[in-house]
Homo-oligomer: A and B are copies of this chain.
Amino acid sequence: MAKTGDRARTTAVSALASLDFALDRGSPVPLYHQLAQQLEAAIGHGVLAPGNLLGNEVDLSVRLGLSRPTVRQAIQSLVDKGLLVRRRGVGTQVVHSQVRRPLELSSLYDDLETAGQGPTTEVVRNEVVPAPCDVAAALGVPEGGEVTVLDRLRRTHGRPVALLRNYLPVPLLDLDSARLEATGLYRVMRSAGITLHSARQTVGARAATAGEASRLDEEEGAALLTMQRTAYDDTGRAVEYGTHIYRASLYTFDFQLLVRP
């Protein structure tokens, strides 16, 4: 009799076989990316269930009218995202659901993507000052040189959750406070032509000072999460340095790690 393994395999292949992928060769978006998006959507909708095998790459490429390298490139991008697992001699499987939910690191995700929503951000301060020592070192500008300092208070459900302080080199862009509150720092930077490449972050904790406590609606000595970040553009210039504090009672950093083989 067929065992569960056989049944699963049959189901998997037919599930994929019944899918029709719409590939548009005239589109400017690459074929491998079109395929990857549609595979990801199929996984997201549960059409391809966890554990399902994808069927071998050669058959897939023939059925789609693509070359095998192109199909591989699509599959590889989903493997890199942690959605699929390849095993030599076995096949390509959809990863089990609990493992998925690829999250970005909360704070950077906020800055990159949040636009209004629940959380609101109030610009408390936005001015040009001489660079303190640590800021100058992080941004690679002379100590005492001009930098923009930006203080923001972030609230969720009306309660303060974070004090965000950012320093930016002055010549990069001018910061419109109203626009910042509406769209977030990274969106403003991006639309100014700054393409982010990478960032270094340090997360720690310490007790709240009296001033911090009052602004965050906490008690003095309450545990705070701290985060420092230096962000670089793709030419290697430091474009932002931030020192942020979060109410530990309301905020955590949540993220997923993928172990590279």
Partner-B contacts on A (CB < 8 A):
50-51, 69, 80, 82, 85, 87, 95-99, 101, 103, 105, 108, 140, 196-207, 221-225, 232, 234-238, 248-249, 251-259
Contact = CB atoms under 8 A, between A and B. Distances in A.
A237 B51 CA distance: 11
Contacts of A69: 69
Contacts of A248: 204-206
B207 A222 contact: yes
Contact of A232 (B87, B98, B105, B221): B98
Number of copies of this chain that the complex holds: 2
6 interchain residue pairs of minimum CB distance: A96-B236, A205-B205, A205-B248, A204-B252, A203-B253, A205-B223
Given A204-B252, A248-B204, A258 B197 contact: yes
Contact of A224 (B105, B140, B223, B249): B223
A184 to B, nearest CB: 14
Contacts of A96: 232, 235-237
Given A95-B236, A199-B259, A236-B50, A204 B253 contact: yes
A236 B196 CA distance: 33
13 contacts: A69-B69, A80-B80, A96-B232, A96-B237, A103-B200, A197-B259, A198-B256, A199-B257, A203-B225, A203-B254, A204-B252, A206-B249, A221-B221
Given A202-B252, A205-B225, A232 B99 contact: yes
B201 A225 contact: no
A32 B139 CA distance: 35
Contacts of A199: 256-257, 259
Given A85-B197, A105-B257, A98 B202 contact: no
Nearest to A99: B232
Given A98-B238, A224-B223, A238-B98, A202 B257 contact: no
Contacts of A196: 259
A235 B84 CA distance: 10
A68 B234 CA distance: 24
Contacts of A50: 236
Contacts of A238: 98
Nearest to A228: B252
Contacts of A105: 257
